[in-house]
């Protein structure tokens, strides 16, 4: 069984997920995991599917037929989540929105050689003070031999520098 990671994007409209799911199922594939969202009138996401080895090319060809609805790019998956050796660490960043927050947070993650498992962000209107808030929920993999306390301290120091709240789960 092969794993494919599908990146999808298209103009938002009804039936996009159904059309994609139909092609996956029609080619013996199993929809395992996804993150899909409407963003500024576009529909985008990523989907992990498993498909019998002998049907990978057939499914890939069929997905190009969705070009009128979605642009789909298939990438061969190389490892499964169960094969990861790191410990997960989740944290939330919340603060006044400004350019550079994602750059600063991801630079701190990279400085500790951590792998990002999940990064979800959004901006929301501040309910009382006005303005816009930036919120991100991040999960990283910490190598078993790494010092989690040092990593958390570095993230807390960064939060103070860029004036955001950091909550570690």
The CATH number assigned to the domain holding 140 equals 3.30.70.260
Total domain count for the chain?
2
Residue 130 has what pLDDT?
A: 80
Burial of 86 (0-12, 13-18, 19+ CB in 10 A): middle
The whole domain housing 163 covers: 84-168
Token code pair at residue 22 = 């139909």
The verdict on 109 and 143 lying in the same domain is: yes
Instruction: For residues 101-125, give the mean pLDDT.
Output: 95
* pLDDT tens-digit series, residues 6-47: 999 999 999 999 999 999 999 999 999 999 999 999 999 999
pLDDT at 83 over 80: no
Residue 133 has pLDDT above 70, yes or no: yes
Residue 142 · residue 87 · CB < 8 Å: yes
CA atoms within 13 A on the CB side of 60: 14
Taking residues 121-138, what's their average pLDDT?
91
**What is the pLDDT of the chain when averaged over all its residues?**
93
Task: Identify whether the C-beta of residue 124 lies closer than 8 Å to the C-beta of residue 133.
Answer: yes
If asked whether residues 45 and 108 sit together in one domain, one would say no
Please, which pLDDT band fits residue 167 given cuts at 50, 70 and 90? very high
Q: What's the confidence (pLDDT) of residue 80?
A: 54
Distance CA 67, CA 93 (A): 37
User: d(Cα 82, Cα 59) in Å, to the nearest integer?
Assistant: 25
84 secondary structure, DSSP code = -
Is the same domain home to 63 and 88? no
pTM of the model: 0.82
**Which of 51, 81, 111 is a domain's end point?**
81
Residue 136's beta-bridge partner residues?
A: 93, 121
Closest CA to 28 of 56, 47, 63, 5: 56
Residue 66, pLDDT above cutoff 70: yes
88 shares its domain with 164: yes
CA 38 to chain CA mean position, Å: 14
63 confidence band (pLDDT: 50, 70, 90):
very high
């Amino acid at each position: 069984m092969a794993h494919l990671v599908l990146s999808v994007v298209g103009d938002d409209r009804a039936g996009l997920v159904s059309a994609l799911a139909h092609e996956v199922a029609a080619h013996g594939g199993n929809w395992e995991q996804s993150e899909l969202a409407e963003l500024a009138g576009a529909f985008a996401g990523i989907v992990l599917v498993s498909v019998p080895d002998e049907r990978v090319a057939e499914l890939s060809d069929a997905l190009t037929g969705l070009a009128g609805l979605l642009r789909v790019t298939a990438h061969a998956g190389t490892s499964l989540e169960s094969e990861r050796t790191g410990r997960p660490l989740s944290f939330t960043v919340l603060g006044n929105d400004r350019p550079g927050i994602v750059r600063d947070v991801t630079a701190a993650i990279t400085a500790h050689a951590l792998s990002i498992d999940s990064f979800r962000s959004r901006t929301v209107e501040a309910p009382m003070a006005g303005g816009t808030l930036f919120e991100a929920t991040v999960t990283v993999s910490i190598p078993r031999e790494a010092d989690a306390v040092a990593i958390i301290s570095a993230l807390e120091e960064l939060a103070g520098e860029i004036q955001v709240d950091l909550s570690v789960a």
